[in-house]
Amino acid sequence: MPEIPRDPHRPKPALRPTATMLRLGLVGAVPLCLVAAFAYTGGWLTPHRLTQHRIVATFEQLNGKHPGFRRNHAKGMCATGWFESSGNAVAVSKAGLFAPGRVPVVGRFAFAGGMPFMADKPATVRSLALRFLPASGEEWRTGMINIPIFPVDTPEAFYAQLLASQPDPATGKPDPAKMQAFAAAYPHTTAAGAMIKARTVSSGFADSVYNGLDTFRFINGTGVATPVRWSVLPVQPVVATDPAAPPPAANGLFDALIAQVAQHPVQWRLVLTLGQAGDPDAPDLPWPAGRQQVDAGTVTLDRVQSEDAGPCTDVNYDPTVLPAGIETSTDAIPSARSAAYARSFRLREGERDVKPPSAVTSQDIASGGKS
Ligand code: HEM
């Protein structure tokens, strides 16, 4: 039957009460769903679910509140320079930064841990984060650490380890019972733990090998995908040190780096390790020795700056900020990192007005690292 057009001058027929209730219900349901979605994402509905809020709140609980600082890798210093691409990595990735040439880099050296004023110790895990800024705007951000393998493969295991490894106030060391319980719950972490323990600890930031640890997929110009892990290897000779050696000064390792950069730029070779079918994505499992490596180019850092006025302070080294040509893999850690770093970034950016000066100040840099 053809539809009879409604007379626009005739008033609309009144809705039946049930229809009115239904419409009102629908109008109310939309904001309710939105609130529920936010509450779920924030973890308010599921207080035992592991969220970025919970991980970051736990860092704060364990390390104390330090407004304005990163909630992990809190003690750090900025560095700038460039990446000179060799062009060799073009075969595995179409990312513009791998084309032969020079790309500016903004980096940050730091110690793992959420205490921005802790004394430098050789055994503390060191990090180097890099932000590659090619003219195309297709940035690459990576955060690397000086251990050969990550101890865990999931954010849940990371969280459990965070809780278990906290020093007991009575002894200053992790509670062995808690560590044993962690090892029993996550038995596969034992092998990674042994590799980390057996590593050679170098004398400072400049002679550290920094490893990306997570597995990513590199895509080349013809669409071929390759699993890749990367490291930066120091051009400076590596000098092994006793990890338990007493620290020379509260900022001893940062001072040494400032003094080194004042003498000459520090450099690392960016080396890609190419995985093969069957190699695990999980960062707590090593790949077989002898995998093909590609020397992608050299990172040169010729200036260091305090975080107080430095170009790395407002950077979130989110490992999922990737150019076309690099993609995440099934490794569960990068997306958890991304969420936690965003939470930490949001908190610290909101606290800029109350942040005290960082441990490494502009005066330390100006004085050549002799604080
Ligand atoms: C689930 C595992 C992890 C969690 C929850 C986590 C958490 C965090 C958080 C909250 C920050 C502070 C971010 C900011 O405020 O900008 C941070 C910094 C950092 N993390 Fe992780 N992290 C994890 C795994 C890793 C792994 C596997 C690596 C290296 C391979 C890594 C390397 C770094 C580095 C280098 C920084 C300092 C970046 C900078 O200097 O700004 N993290 N992490």
2 — pLDDT class (breaks 50, 70, 90): very low
User: Ligand 1 pocket, 339 CB below 6 A?
Assistant: no
Q: How do residues 81-107 score in pLDDT, each as one tens digit?
A: 999 999 999 999 999 999 999 999 999
pTM of the model: 0.89
Name 1's Cβ contacts closer than 8 Å, sequence gap at least 6: none
Task: Point out which residues pair with 269 in neighbouring strands.
Answer: 233, 298
Q: How do residues 157-172 score in pLDDT, each as one tens digit?
A: 999 999 998 888 888 8
User: Ligand 1 pocket, 344 CB below 6 A?
Assistant: yes
Q: Which residue has the higher pLDDT, 369 or 250?
A: 250
Q: How do residues 170-210 score in pLDDT, each as one tens digit?
A: 888 899 999 999 999 999 899 999 999 999 999 999 999 99
Give the three-class secondary structure for 33: helix
| Helix extents (H) in the chain | 17-42, 52-63, 155-164, 176-185, 189-197, 252-263, 333-349, 362-366
Asked if 73 is an active-site residue, the reply is yes
Q: How do residues 323-356 score in pLDDT, each as one tens digit?
A: 999 999 999 999 999 999 999 999 999 999 999 9
User: Ligand 1 pocket, 336 CB below 6 A?
Assistant: yes
Q: How do residues 140-152 score in pLDDT, each as one tens digit?
A: 999 999 999 999 9
ipTM: 0.95
CA 119 to chain centre: 22
Token match 């730029």: residue? Answer: 265
Question: Which is the catalytic residue, given 53, 66, 73, 264?
Answer: 73
Ligand 1 atom nearest to CA at 341 = 13
Q: How do residues 220-242 score in pLDDT, each as one tens digit?
A: 999 999 999 999 999 999 999 99
